[in-house]
Amino acid sequence: MPVYLRKKELKARSRYYLDIWHNGKRRYEMLNLYQLNSRHPVDVQANKEQKELAEKVRAKRELELTSQDNEIRSKHKDNSYFLEYFVRWVAGYRNKDVRLAKACYRHFLLFLKDEGISTKITSRQITSELVENFKKYLDQNLNGETPFNYFGKFIKLCHDATKAGLMQDNPCTGVKNGRSEGLKKDILSNG
């Protein structure tokens, strides 16, 4: 599974990209790293630094793919900040109910503050006990279907984070997302 560093020639500069062969498929990953077509000493030094950085990105990507293929977890993922992933997840959420994902994030921040937990919480610190406490927090502070809907988004987030390798085990496994017996909304009809 080789990952090659390549350059795409543009007018005044070249752009680095990765040529990745993985599981019999080929894909490209464009990097925001460029090499200037200039012989000026400052540009020559900048080009050297850009190439070194591009080579580090290539090596990191190859290591990630090798780890993934051999089911080896990267230690840096265990120590990744969970809220950074949460923000990226919400930003990339494309379903119509994106407002629920955003609200889930806001309430998770309020929960952390209420519990006295740092916003620098790592993925390793997201345990089933913490997940259950977040569910209780939602049930105690929100009404109707809202806790069920918000926690449903949190379950989806944790599922995606586990799939992405951010967590070794899904902390939501075994935590039920039952509807509370609280206030239910009536549905309006035309008849």
Average pLDDT over residues 132-159: 94
Phi-psi region of 21 (alpha: psi -120 to 50; beta: other; left: phi over 0): beta
Q: Are strands 3-9 and 13-22 parallel, antiparallel or unpaired?
A: antiparallel
pLDDT at 188: 65
The Cβ of residue 168 has, within 10 Å, a number of other Cβ atoms equal to 12
Please state the domain extents for the chain. Answer: 3-69, 75-163
Average pLDDT over residues 108-137: 93
Q: Which residue has the tokens 């926690």?
A: 151
- The crossing angle, in degrees rounded to 10, of helices 128-141 and 146-163 is 160
Do 105 and 144 form a contact (C-beta atoms < 8 A)? no
CA distance 95 to 99: 9
pLDDT range class, residue 116, cuts 50, 70, 90:
very high
Question: What DSSP state is assigned to residue 61?
Answer: H
Average pLDDT over residues 65-81: 61
Mean pLDDT of the chain: 85
Query: Is pLDDT at 189 greater than 70 in this prediction?
Result: no
pLDDT at 182: 53
pLDDT at 76: 45
* Three-state secondary-structure class, residue 167: coil
pLDDT at 184: 54
pLDDT range class, residue 62, cuts 50, 70, 90:
confident
Nearest to 81 by CA among 50, 118, 134: 118
Helices (H) and strands (E) in the chain, counts: 6, 3
Q: Which residue has the tokens 């599981």?
A: 23
